[in-house]
Amino acid sequence: MVSGVAGALALVALANAVGPRPAKAGEGHLVALADVAPTIRQDVRYATRRNFTGQPLPGYKAAKCLLRPEAANGLARAQAELAKAKPALGLKVFDCYRPMRAVRAMVRWTEAAAGISEEPFYFPGHQRERLVALGYISSHSSHARGIAVDLTLVTMAIGGKVAAPSADAAKSMPNGTCRDRGGDPADPSELDMGTTFDCFDPRSATRAKAITALARKNRLRLVDAMGRHGFRNYAREWWHYTYVGRSPDDVLDIVIK
Q: What are the pLDDT digits (tens) for 126-146?
A: 888 888 888 889 888 999 999
Give the Cα separation of 134 and 29 in Å (integer).
Answer: 32
**CA distance readout (Å), 250 to 68, 175, 189:** 12, 40, 36
Amino acid at 111: E
Please state which of the ranges 66-75, 181-190, 224-233 shows the lowest mean pLDDT. Answer: 181-190
27 has a pLDDT exceeding 70: no
pLDDT at 78: 98
CATH class of the domain at 5-243: alpha beta
Residue-wise pLDDT for 133-184, tens only, equals 888 898 889 999 999 999 999 998 644 444 444 444 444 455 688 988 888 8
- What rounded mean pLDDT belongs to the chain? 83
Overall pTM surpassing 0.85 (yes/no): no
Strands (E), the chain: 31-32, 41-42, 66-67, 89-95, 148-155, 231-234, 237-243
**CA distance readout (Å), 126 to 129, 133, 185, 227:** 8, 11, 23, 31
Q: Is residue 225 very low, low, confident or very high in pLDDT (cuts 50, 70, 90)?
A: very high
Q: What is the mean pLDDT of residues 251-255?
A: 94
Amino acid at 192: D
pLDDT at 6: 40
Q: What is the mean pLDDT of residues 71-95?
A: 96
Amino acid at 12: V
